């Protein structure tokens, strides 16, 4: 009968244990870095789609990193809030008949109309979808990974 014994160096075992403990933190930092790249690209691409994009930049936010039910790590980039242009009110009626009114126009509505066009005849000028450059995002995420995994 054949027998096999293998001994790993304690230094390698210690490195693997440390990596296992730091993996959740590393994943969070990696997704955050990727989201920051997307945010920077969105700001650059907005200039081509809007006459004055600086008014919408404060509404562009990166959410905090969170875990989903299936264990994935997510960080979102999106537009949040209401653009208060004068005293204009915006109201929505739900399917149940309840009416909600807000001060200002929802920024995601403005952005979505520019991204995909609107039924009022506004042509689409995509800028958000163009901001997801896979190679840029992956390179930024690999920089974060290299801090944790030393070769």
The whole-number pLDDT of residue 86 equals: 60
The whole-number pLDDT of residue 96 equals: 81
1 domain residue, yes or no: no
- Joined together, the tokens standing for residue 78 give 């999106």
108 domain residue, yes or no: yes
Task: Give the pLDDT of the chain (151 residues) as one tens digit per residue.
Answer: 788 887 767 776 777 777 777 788 888 999 999 999 999 999 999 988 888 888 889 999 999 999 999 988 999 999 998 887 665 666 777 778 887 777 778 889 888 988 898 888 888 888 998 999 999 999 999 999 888 877 6
DSSP 78-105: EE-SEE--TT-EEEEE-TTS-EEEEESE
For the entire predicted model, the pTM comes to 0.76
21 domain residue, yes or no: yes
Q: Give the residue numbers spanning the domain of 118.
A: 10-148
Instruction: Evaluate whether 107 touches 82 at the Cβ level (below 8 Å).
Output: yes
The whole-number pLDDT of residue 41 equals: 95
Instruction: Evaluate whether 35 touches 77 at the Cβ level (below 8 Å).
Output: yes
3 domain residue, yes or no: no
- Structurally, how many domains does the chain consist of? 1
The whole-number pLDDT of residue 59 equals: 93
49 domain residue, yes or no: yes
Ramachandran bin of 99, using left for φ above 0, alpha for ψ from -120 to 50, beta for the remaining angles: beta
Q: What are phi and psi of 48, to 5 degrees?
A: -80, -25
């Amino acid at each position: 009968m054949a027998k096999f014994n293998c001994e790993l160096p304690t230094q390698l075992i210690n490195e693997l244990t440390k990596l296992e403990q730091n993996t959740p933190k590393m994943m969070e930092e990696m997704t955050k870095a990727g989201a920051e790249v997307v945010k920077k690209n969105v700001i650059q691409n907005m200039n081509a789609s809007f006459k004055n994009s600086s008014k919408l930049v404060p509404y562009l936010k990166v959410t905090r990193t969170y875990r989903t039910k299936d264990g994935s790590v997510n960080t979102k980039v999106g537009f949040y809030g209401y653009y208060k242009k004068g005293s204009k009110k915006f109201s929505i009626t739900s399917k149940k008949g309840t009416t909600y009114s807000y001060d200002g126009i929802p920024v995601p509505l403005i952005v979505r109309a520019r991204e995909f066009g609107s039924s009022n005849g506004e042509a689409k000028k995509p800028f958000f979808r163009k901001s997801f450059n896979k190679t840029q995002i992956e390179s930024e995420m690999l920089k974060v990974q290299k801090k944790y995994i030393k070769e």
